[in-house]
Structure 1
Amino acid sequence: MTRQVVLVGAGHAHMEALRQARRFANAGLSLTLIDPGAFWYSGAATGVLSGALEPDAARLNPSDLEGPFEHMRQRVVSVDPHARTLTLQDGERRAYDVLSLNTGSRIPETPLLAAGAIPAKPVSALAGLRATLEANLGQLRLAVAGAGATGVEIALSMASLQRRLGARPQTLLAGPDLMPGWPDRARRLALEAMARCGVEYVPLRVQDLSLGLVHFGQRKVAPVDILVAATGLSANVPDGLDASEAGLPVSADLSWTGDAAVFAIGDCACMVKHPRPKLGVFGVRAAPILIQNLINAAMGRPARRQYTPQSRWLSILDVGDGTGLARYGDLAFQGKPALTLKRWLDGRFLQRYRVEP
């Protein structure tokens, strides 16, 4: 009987696995992707939100890739690692021999989301936000809860879109800790960019959203029409697996510490020995190792390649004014070359998976 390798989630690493689907077939393995929709590339999300890029620039259809694999447009709700079965949203059960999760992360449920805030993820939510702003010609009071790098970039992108639409930016960014983990110089550059681009920074945590107001406590409020929640990420892992908000714990070979037949990569995984931020670069770099280990595991080979993520990595934020804000380790710089580099890197990644008509 043909052994089944099942990929859950169309993330960075799984797109590469699909591109190399012939390797699985040549090994006598069946490859299946289970994911309900398109692959949205997070690196281009704020470019779409700002209006610099069209939504199609950040979206790929896994089914367009050539190769011997099946794409089931379904969502996996639970995993039974003992029976090695998956339960899908429609109730169907699917067996696997080797399973890999690349299901990303989400904004965890909070009172802000319950009150109507828009989550910063999934990326498709930002494409919908852009459409709302365009329909209102940018004449909306906007706010972002969460002052990490994602929140800063979203706030700058919304202000950029308001300018493109001929409206005065009415954008507020709130959070007590600005861009944690980034160099001090990067934070200074971010503050300068926000002041230049019309984003007001309030170093307070948003506590509530009601009656068209964001509440900061101490009787401080601000009017808002749309609030975006960028309040931290939680791993998106199906039920049935022993995962925390940080993700499914995986060893250096990317297999779950609780079952060597289950793998996880990207935002949904937590490397036990080498924890890293939730950034797509790690999934991209680890993809070749994941692919080989999936094939080896499915064929019963004991050999497993080990993945050690880099200790320094390049991150570039789209400031929305034609410049980028970049950091590499403790270094930080801003300018047009940084954005040019970002667009080139994003375009190079996406082009690998575009099928020419």
Structure 2
Amino acid sequence: MKKLVLIGGGHSHAIALKKWGINPLSEVELTLITNVVKTPYSGMLPGYIAGFYTFEQCHIDLPSLAEFAQAKLYIDQAINLDLEKNLVICENHSPIPFDLVSIDIGSTPATLTIPGAIEHTIAVKPISKFLQYWQQLVDEIQQNPEQKIRLAIIGGGAGGVELAFNIHRHLTQIYQQANQPLNQLELHLIHQGERLLSERHPSLSQKVETLLKKLQINLHLNQTVDQVEATENSIKKISCKSGLTLDCDRIFWVTQASASPWLKQTDLATNEQGFIRVNDNLQSISHPQVFAAGDIATMVNYPRPKAGVFAVRQGQPLLENLKRSLQEKPLKPFIPQQEFLILIGTGDRKAIASKGWFNIGPNSLLWRWKDYIDQKFIKQFKT
């Protein structure tokens, strides 16, 4: 009996597990290794931050999904691969053998080179850890709404911008309900580029910057953070290369992604950021028994941004090639789209749609469309 092991419960693997459960291969033992029980759907994260969704509504229950796929489940952290003996080395369990292994463990923000960033900031990825911090912060503010809070978001890509909109919406609502002035919240968004969303069209950047300024969110462009330190009373001090300094109570880190450090201990071919280099079949270019998808993978022929849309699209072709490999059939190439639509929630049940040079919104119809797409995606794992 052949052994297929999935490491991580990301979007691609969630789709693969659901489809495997519907149409499994006989004579294959399937195993899932994950360090979280509930995996968040990134598309609904901004809505959860804004208070539009409950925790259950935007999370996939991995034990239920593994049971549906008739997969063995290990709640554990993979920390290495023995690619000569084909073993997954785990933190708490004995090594798990495989014939094929697939990796979908997401990414983490690249904070390693900034002094103090790891110790004094809250990384938005992995999302599951960030959500614990977020809930603690919401509870603190609800219990003591008279106290002013200063927050900073480092990173002005789509993730940082959406986070700013939705944090502002939820926390100002708490202050309103407690009859407190809205200036209790001081929110900063720091970005090293000349404009927010620098990977998108300038017209979108201008629109988003105008909306954020209307909400009195402080924008700091052309600012590169070079140090974060803790001062007295647990206050965090951000220092930028320009000389700008900011004192904050909490700092959220949403910058360029990097790979989990343990992958560098393996012999897998990776790029400079540590992401697994895969071919058009989502297969490691150095070890054919290893596949990878989602943020942790970089397609050598089709480099794309680290975005959830690509992880979702890779789920079906990943599963198909895993099955084909197990059956010793030729693999099928997957070509990702070049341009992709993004829907940015602005925290007020409105959204902006953007693709290439085109953008429209914010309006409530686009938010309802986004909500429909997200609810439809998550619903397949609830039934």
Taking the TM superposition and a 5 Å limit, the aligned residue runs for 1:84-163 are: 84-90=86-92, 92-108=94-110, 109=112, 110-134=114-138, 135-137=140-142, 139-163=148-172
- Whether 1:60 and 2:79 are equivalent positions in the alignment is no
Structure 2 portions without partners, runs of 5+: 176-181
| Pair 1:308-2:327 in alignment | no
Partner Cα separation in structure 2 for residue 155 and residue 233 of structure 1: 18
RMSD after superposition: 1.8
CA–CA distance in structure 2, aligned partners of residues 22 and 133 of structure 1? 38
- Match for 2:244 among 204, 220, 238? 220
Report how far residue 112 of structure 1 moved. Answer: 4.0
Q: 1:48 to 1:111 in 2, by over 3 A?
A: farther
Contact 2:117 2:228 in 1 (8 A): no
Q: What SS does structure 2 have at the residue aligned with 1:201?
A: strand
Q: Which moved more, 1:96-105 or 1:135-144?
A: 135-144
- Secondary structure of 1:256's aligned partner: coil
Does the CA contact (< 8 Å) of 1:112 and 1:229 recur in 2?
A: no
The corresponding residue for 1:347 is: 375
How far apart in 1 are the matches of 2:134 and 2:347? 14
Q: For 2:204, which of 164, 174, 186 is the aligned residue? A: 186
2:189 alignment counterpart: 173
Which of these residues, 76, 79, 82, is aligned with residue 81 of structure 2?
Answer: 79
Where does residue 256 of structure 1 map in the other structure? 284
User: Quick one: distance in 1 between partners of 2:136 and 2:24?
Assistant: 44
Q: Identity of paired residues, percent?
A: 22
Classify the secondary structure of the residue corresponding to 1:26.
coil
TM-score with structure 2 setting the length: 0.87
Which residue in the other structure is 2:351 paired with? Answer: 324
Task: Report the equivalent of 1:205.
Answer: 224
- The TM-score normalised by the length of structure 1 is 0.93
Letter matched to residue 120 of structure 1: V
CA distance in 2, matches of 1:34, 1:147: 33
Label 1:159 to 1:22 Cα distance change in 2 as closer, same or farther (>3 A). closer
How do 1:264-303 and structure 2 match up within 5 A?
264-301=292-329, 303=330
Give the counterpart letter for 2:338 in structure 1.
S
Give SS of 2:228's match.
Answer: strand
- CA distance, structure 2, for counterparts of residue 220 and residue 69 of structure 1: 52
Contact 2:278–2:285 (8 Å) recurs in 1: yes
Which amino acid letter does the alignment assign opposite residue 18 of structure 1?
L
Give the direction of change, closer, same or farther, for the CA distance of 1:111–1:55 in structure 2 (3 Å limit). Answer: farther
Q: Answer whether contact 1:101 1:265 (CA < 8 A) is retained.
A: yes
Distance 2:344 2:248 in 1: 25
Tell me if the contact between 1:24 and 1:295 (Cα under 8 Å) persists in the aligned partners.
no
Give me the whole-angstrom Cα distance separating, in 2, the residues matched to 1:292 and 1:313.
23
